[in-house]
Amino acid sequence: MPTSQTNAAQNAGTPRWLQTRSEEQGAADARSLFQQVYGYEPAGVWSAPGRVNLIGEHVDYADGISLPFALSQRTYVAAAKNDDGVYRVASRFGDPVEIVHFEIPVAEVGPGNPANWAGYAVGAIWAATEAGLMPAGGLNLAIESDVPVGAGLSSSAALECSAALAAFDLYGGATLDDAVRNGLMGASIRAENEVVGASTGGLDQRISLFGQAGHALAIDFAEDSATQVPFDIAGRGLAILIMNTNAPHQLNDGQYAARRAVIDGVTADLGVSSLRFAEEAEDASVGWAKANDVDPVEVAARVRHVVSEIARTAEAIKQVSAGDMEAFGRSMQGSHASLRDDYEVTVPELDTAVDVAMAQGALGARMTGGGFGGSAIALLREDQVEATATAVAEAFAEKGFNEPEFVVALPSDGAHRNA
């Protein structure tokens, strides 16, 4: 799906709402694209959702705790085997929309190849075959998606998981149980880390495969555990508003990797599996910083974010479980402040969206995803949603930012076969 980059001069401050297809329509559109490109019917259609992370940011790779939920916005993959020994991938891109094709021999997929958008799909399939989940074989794929690219809502994991699941169903010949979902999760993580080269930690792939409607997923990465947490906010008259800033969102420009390198380095230096298990981790990080010729104040701030965010998320899970949304909103605010001041991954667009939402009466608001662009979320009363979106759009217009996009997030199911 193309992402709007409308010039601010054209932005009159009227909210632009993202449209989401029903699963039936999304599957039908993917099937239609497959027929148009390949000239015959696909064997089936599979889909996986994007995600929004309520709290617990930049801690998945630090054996921390996160609380995401799966979105109703999904990526749909229509697929069929081929006997040609190649992966063929087709999708719609651009404005105006055009069909983009990519083809690569099965034997040539691996670390660093292909290092483009198709690598998310075929890389996950390659990694799944490497893990023994299924034999290698050619595939024709057609992709439709409602998960906006670059919005911090994990369009990459949605593509990885839907493609890997399609390949597994076609070549694996086994039941899709939790063990298989875990295998596909690992394969999708490996694709992102090794094939495409994005140093992500696994939150996105887990929720994309294990999400449940009406629930968030409390993930403890140190324990490798996940617990479904009821999150029926609509029943409380509340809503999560996603505010896609349309600011540039890049995780592969070194910023994400640089922060992860600090956390990985300090963790190893302290001899612990996670900073959450270290005593006085912030003070202890000074020695690593000096040894690696890095600003100790900056390193201490990075460590402070990880330690505080893990503790804050553990408390937030208790707040959500108890239905204390006001306290949870305060935890969201603390998370954003830490990401802004200590981890330094926000941008003016994200901070503006959060500040305006809070001024409109939100219980809490924060950036979500990797940062450096992407989306912010706000926890609001349902009757505040429209006014908040309007106020954010107007603020963006006044500041000369790109036109934002909005959608109300609903906790939905994880990856599955649609047709």
Q: What is the pLDDT of residues 307-359, one digit of tens each?
A: 999 999 999 999 999 999 999 999 999 999 999 999 999 999 999 999 999 99
Band of residue 253 on the pLDDT scale cut at 50, 70, 90:
low
* Residue 132 token pair: 């023994």
Please report, for residues 61, 93, 189, 300, the alpha-carbon distance to residue 283 in angstroms, rounded to integers and kept in the order given. 21, 48, 32, 7
Element (H, E) at 417: strand 416-417
**Closest C-alpha among 284, 335, 345 to residue 311:** 335
* Tokens coding 93: 């891109």
Degrees, nearest 5: CA angle 219-225-228: 60
Token pair for residue 306? 């990880």
Task: Look at residue 2 and tell me whether its pLDDT is greater than 90.
Answer: no
Look up residue 130 and give its amino acid: E
List of residues 6+ apart from 49 with CB closer than 8 A: 70, 71, 72, 73, 74, 75, 147, 158, 207, 208, 211, 412, 413, 414, 415
- Whole-prediction pTM value? 0.91
CATH of region 18-48+72-210: 3.30.230.10
Between the alpha carbon of residue 58 and those of residues 84, 241, 315, 368, the distances in Å are 41, 21, 17, 10
pLDDT of residue 202: 87
Domain boundaries, the chain: 18-48+72-210, 234-409
Q: What is the pLDDT of residue 401?
A: 95
| Catalytic residue positions, numbered | 204
pLDDT recorded at residue 334:
98
| Of the options 3.20.20.210, 3.40.50.1970, 3.30.70.890, 3.40.50.11540, the CATH number for the domain spanning 234-409 | 3.30.70.890
Q: pLDDT tens for residues 92-105? A: 987 777 899 999 99
pLDDT of amino acid 16:
95
> Is-same-fold flag (18-48+72-210; 234-409)?
no
Q: Is the Cβ–Cβ distance between 77 and 118 less than 8 Å?
A: no
Q: What backbone phi and psi angles, to 5 degrees, belong to 249?
A: -125, 105
d(CA 212, CA 315): 22
Nearest to 184 by CA among 79, 68, 48: 48
Query: At 6, is the pLDDT very low, low, confident or very high (cuts 50, 70, 90)?
Result: very low
Distance, CA of 352 to CA of 349 (rounded, Å): 5
Instruction: Output the average pLDDT for the chain.
Output: 93
CA diameter of the chain: 63
From CA 113, how far away is CA 110, in angstroms rounded? 5
Residue 8 has pLDDT above 60, yes or no: no
